[in-house]
Amino acid sequence: MIPFKEFIKRSMDGPVVTEQAFDLDLSRRLRRVAADYGVRFQPAEIICDDATADAIFQAALELACQVGLYNVDTNRIILLTEAEIGETCRETPKQFVRGAGKDAVMVPARSHDSRAVPYGFRWPLTHPRSLGKEAFLSEALGAHLSDTTEIGDLARELKPWLEGVENKAGTVGDTMWAIASTRWCLAVARMAGQPDMYVGTCAGIAVPAVLACFMGEKAYKKHHSGISVVTMPELKINWERLQLAFIARQMGTAMRISGGAVLGAYARNAEESAILSVASLLVQLSYSAGDWVNIAPSDRQGYRTGRATMQAQSAASRACERNVGVPTTMFQSVKNGLGSKLGLYEEASLIIEQTCSGLSSYWRYPCQPGGNGELKSDLDYDLVTRVARAVSGMERGRANELLGKLLGLYEASLDRPEKGRPYSYYYDLRTLTPLPELVDVYRRVEAELATLGLPLP
């Protein structure tokens, strides 16, 4: 692994260029390597073949070595060699452990054709950054949990403390909300009888917020959480990202990295998006020693269920599966809203594509925001779990055929997605029970999936 001090040194004495010049060089070289390696996706194939996955990796390796990693604070390029990146790939852990003691979970890397089912992490509660202030205060701290003394006391403590404080990066509010998330997640874990469970990546995204989450009496221990040390888009970094990586190394805390390129920005098409996503992953592994990777190409609105974004995600995942072997993860992000059959088709399609591309684990939020800001129910993630179990080990051709059928059901809706209804419309907040109207939607989708050739366990 490259010594961390090398990233500090190269940030100070690497080649000096303007950010605009770096961006132009990245765009030109990305186009060139895609052409040189002949990377072309077949429209009917969401999950690519071995040869295409290997070409994606080689193109990404060349791109990373040619372009490097740009430190926006020093205007210098951190150059990496093919030998250094190759050594990083060989030394990257092929499994990870989250949690401790009886609450520990070991997750190995998977291959695209593995019969092992990806592990679903169910965290105590979505971070307040994801939920938003009003949802956190009303839903998370609502009456349905206040019967438990510890949770009720915490709710009464946090609600007045957070009222009127905006959860905004770079402000004290970021730190306050990160502390609130820490206390809430740990309290719910204790209430559930799993005090040492992994409760998700630290909600803070700035150095003060992250330090606050891991210091003090009511703070995370290193097995409870991890730190996100992802680059800035695209192939850029700053001192804060390097500081977070350094802090995580010193504490022995897990580091989460995310390799993803925005389709329609530097990457013009799915092929370029896949190459840039893998290149981003390779440079992040080099400075982070991360053991858990989120591979997440997206469209310009941040969604991943379109044909091109799924092709890019699958190809990037398969390139890493075959050439790095690091465990990969994902989370659901769909356009159609809660209570919409189209949204469930999107969720099913996404988990099929990723499970059949080497996915190791996925995040199962109890109340993740949906395509239009509404909250999602546990039923979404129960469905995702069953679909993942049904397709684990599925042959690539059959998976592509199934994905083609699902895309035919929802692809036309992506330009004008259904808004759906809010979480409170479909869920009894006091008993946390889904109402019959919502349950009926899921049952009908399950029956339709079986008609398509995917009977759920």
At 331-354, the pLDDT tens digits run 767 888 888 899 899 999 999 999
3-state secondary structure of 54: helix
Q: Has residue 178 been placed in a domain?
A: no
Domain assignment of residue 24, yes or no: yes
Q: Structural domain tally of the chain?
A: 1
Any idea which residue has 């009456």 for tokens?
143
Q: Which backbone phi and psi does 285 adopt, to 5 degrees? A: -60, -35
Given this model, what pLDDT does residue 368 score?
A: 44
What is the rounded average pLDDT of the residues 299-324? 92
Task: Count the Cβ atoms, other than its own, within 10 Å of residue 50.
Answer: 12
Q: Is residue 403 part of a domain?
A: no
**Segment 261-276, tens digit of pLDDT:** 888 888 999 999 999 9
Arithmetic mean of pLDDT, 307-322? 95
Sequence-distant contacts of 398-405: CB under 8 A, at least 24 apart = 399/46, 399/47, 399/352, 399/353, 399/356, 400/44, 400/45, 400/46, 400/47, 401/453, 402/352, 402/452, 402/453, 402/454, 403/46, 403/47, 403/310, 403/349, 403/352, 403/353, 404/44, 404/46, 405/452, 405/453
Least confident of 29-43, 364-378, 442-456: 364-378
SS3 (DSSP) at 32: helix
Residue 311 has pLDDT above 80, yes or no: yes
Identify whether 317 is part of a domain.
Answer: no
Task: Give a yes or no: residue 163 inside a domain.
Answer: no
Please name every residue paired with 120 in a beta bridge, in sequence order, or none if there are none.
362
- Closest listed residue to residue 428, CA positions, set 121, 173, 12, 144: 144
Residue listed under structure tokens 């840039």: 276
The range of the structural domain enclosing residue 36 comes to: 4-91
Instruction: Note whether 330 and 388 are within 8 A (CB).
Output: no
Neighbours of 58 (CB within 10 A): 17
Q: What is the mean pLDDT of residues 163-183?
A: 85
Q: Tell me whether residue 13 is in a domain.
A: yes
Q: What's the rounded Cα separation, in Å, for the pair 195 and 223?
A: 11
pLDDT tens digits, residue range 422-435?
767 787 766 667 88
Q: Could you report the per-residue pLDDT of 2-53, keeping only the tens digit for each?
A: 899 999 999 999 999 999 999 999 999 999 999 999 999 998 999 999 999 9
* Residue 47 falls inside a structural domain: yes
Decide if 191 is inside a domain.
Answer: no
Using pLDDT thresholds of 50, 70 and 90, give the confidence band for residue 174. confident
Check residue 264 and give its pLDDT.
Answer: 86
The answer to whether the Cα torsion of 227, 231, 237, 238 is positive or negative is negative
Task: State the average pLDDT over residues 77-98.
Answer: 93
Q: What is the pLDDT at residue 322?
A: 95
pLDDT bucket at 127, cuts 50 / 70 / 90: very low
pTM reported for the whole predicted model:
0.91
The mean of the pLDDT values for the chain is 86
Q: How many residues are there in the chain?
A: 457
Instruction: Give the span between the Cα atoms of 329 and 317, in whole angstroms.
Output: 10
Looking at the predicted structure, is the pLDDT value of residue 320 above 90?
A: yes
The two three-digit tokens of residue 363, written as one number: 């995040």
Output the DSSP codes for 300-357: TTS---SHHHHHHHHHHHHHHHHHT---EEE----SS-TT-HHHHHHHHHHHHHHHTT
Q: Cβ–Cβ contacts within 10 Å for residue 401, how many?
A: 13
